[in-house]
Amino acid sequence: MSYKNTLTSSEILAKKFRANVKGYDADEVDAFLDGVLEEFRHYEDFLKNELPALEKDGAKLESLSKKNQELEIELAVLKEKFNGLTRHDTLDVNQNNLELHKRISLLEKALYRLGQDPTKIK
């Protein structure tokens, strides 16, 4: 957002118009310009106070969008990698790991009974 404001509320307030016999009613023009001035002051306040936060949020949104794209790619890769893997397959792997752990534990106990420390076997 690189909009550069070239008109200020002070310039609107200070603007003078030349009188003309066939011109508009000066009071009506002044009343209208007072309304324009009030709106413009709100606009200036917005630019001063809110625009920096919006720009910061925009940068954060861009960063999060990029991260989201990276995560979507990573998810697609993982889905492809684990395509075909079922819950049953996962349970089988866990069961096999448990059985291996039990067997190792039994072997360690047997070694201790024989007077061998399994942690010192090379």
pLDDT digits (tens, 9 = 90+) for 33-47: 888 888 888 888 888
Both 41 and 77 in one domain: the answer is yes
pLDDT for 60 equals 93
Both 28 and 47 in one domain: the answer is yes
Provide the number of structural domains found in the chain: 2
Query: Average pLDDT over the chain, rounded to whole?
Result: 83
Both 5 and 61 in one domain: the answer is yes
pLDDT for 65 equals 95
Which residues form the domain of 90? 85-122
Answer yes or no: is pLDDT of 1 > 50: no
- Work out the percent of the chain whose per-residue pLDDT is above 70: 89
What is the enclosing helix (H) or strand (E) of 39?
helix 26-45
pLDDT for 59 equals 92
* pTM, entire model: 0.39
Question: At 15, is the secondary structure helix, strand, or coil?
Answer: coil
Q: Which residues touch 44 (CB under 8 Å, ≥6 apart)? A: 5, 8, 9
DSSP conformational letter for 23: S
